[in-house]
Amino acid sequence: MWSATILTLYPEMFPGPLGTSLSGDALSRGIWSLEARNIRDHGIGRHRAVDDTPAGGGPGMVIRADVLAHALDAGVPADDTRPRLLMSPRGRPLTQARVRQLAEGPGVVIICGRFEGVDERVIEGRGLEEVSIGDYVLSGGEIASLVTLDACVRLLSGVMGKEASGSEESFENGLLEYPHYTRPREWEGRAIPDILLSGDHAKIARWRKEQSERLTRERRPDLLP
Ligand code: ADE
Mean predicted confidence (pLDDT) in 61-67: 97
Q: Determine the Cα–Cα distance for residues 141 and 193; give it in Å rounded to an integer.
A: 43
Alpha-carbon dihedral of residues 209, 212, 215, 217, nearest 10 degrees? -70
Question: Is residue 168 over pLDDT 70?
Answer: no
Mean predicted confidence (pLDDT) in 132-151: 97
Residue 164: per-residue pLDDT? 47
Mean pLDDT of the chain: 95
Mean predicted confidence (pLDDT) in 193-213: 98
**Comparing C-alpha atoms, which of 138, 115, 3, 126 is closest to residue 51?**
115
Residue with CA closest to ligand 1 atom 10? 88
Instruction: Return the ligand 1 atom nearest residue 139 CA.
Output: 2
Report the pocket of ligand 1 as residue ranges, CB < 6 Å: 87-89, 113, 132-134, 136-138, 141, 144
Percent of the chain with pLDDT over 70: 97
- Residue 110 Cα, ligand 1 centroid: separation in angstroms? 12
State pLDDT tens for residues 66-125: 999 999 999 999 999 999 999 999 999 999 999 999 999 999 999 999 878 999 999 999
Alpha-carbon dihedral of residues 158, 159, 162, 166, nearest 10 degrees? -110
- Residue 148 Cα, ligand 1 centroid: separation in angstroms? 11
Q: Determine the Cα–Cα distance for residues 177 and 172; give it in Å rounded to an integer.
A: 9
In this predicted structure, which of 45-54, 107-116, 137-146 has the lowest mean pLDDT?
107-116
pTM of the prediction? 0.95
Query: Residue 1 in 3-state DSSP?
Result: coil
Residue with CA closest to ligand 1 atom 5? 89
- Domain architecture of the chain: domains with CATH: 2-153 (3.40.1280.10), 168-223 (1.10.1270.20)
Question: Is residue 198 over pLDDT 70?
Answer: yes
- Residue 48 Cα, ligand 1 centroid: separation in angstroms? 25
Residue 169: per-residue pLDDT? 76
- Residue 144 Cα, ligand 1 centroid: separation in angstroms? 6
